[in-house]
Amino acid sequence: MVGVGIEKGMAPPDVVEFDRGHGRLEVREYWWVKADKDISWPDVRWYGKVRRERTLLYKGKRSIEEVMAIYGGGRGLNPSPKELSRWVRGHWEIENGVFWVLDVSYNEDRNNARKVGRPLHAIRCAAINVIRLQGFQYIPDGHRAASARPDRGLAWLYNC
């Protein structure tokens, strides 16, 4: 990408974040460029590069990943590079909060039923929403509470 990057001689990153947890150290670097009129995509305001370097603390294994990001917001917002970086990071909260639960609690990645896959996915998402509405932070806790008293499940649906 022209004007954005970590290659030799390029500008330093606009935002740098450090995280340590879950047995790893992660450094995220963000480069952002304000889009000019020459971009052929309408409403694109910012584009950039994200570089993630993860080190597994117990193994010393290191990985580097680079991805591109585009912001094309309307509503008159003019975010700063720090806000854009926070939004990119926030995207993974959705991934971890919904799709990871579907993969782990419902083993959805192993579903081979192609014709009924979408309806089953919709039912699983509804079940997650019902369980969370009941105040359970962890889906397995909600499963256990519902299976301990089967009449609860229908009451939970009725109260939604």
Q: What is the pLDDT of residues 75-113, one digit of tens each?
A: 667 788 888 888 888 877 777 777 778 887 788 777 777
Residue spans of alpha helices (H) in the chain: 81-94, 100-105, 117-133, 139-148, 150-159
Taking the domains of the chain in order of start, what are their residue ranges? 1-78
Q: CB-based burial of residue 145 (10 Å sphere; 0-12 exposed, 13-18 middle, 19+ buried)?
A: middle
Helix 150-159 × helix 117-133 angle, to 10°: 90
**Would you say 83 and 69 are in contact if contact means Cβ atoms under 8 Å apart?**
no
Is there a contact between 39 and 45 (Cβ–Cβ < 8 Å)?
no
Q: Please report, rounded to a whole number, the percentage of residues in the chain having pLDDT higher than 90.
A: 16
DSSP letter (8 states) at residue 55:
E
pLDDT given for residue 7 in this prediction = 56
Residue 95 is classified by DSSP as: I
Which range, of 53-67, 69-83, 139-153, averages the lowest pLDDT?
69-83
Task: Retrieve residue 160's tokens.
Answer: 């939604």
Confidence of residue 53 (pLDDT cuts 50, 70, 90): very high
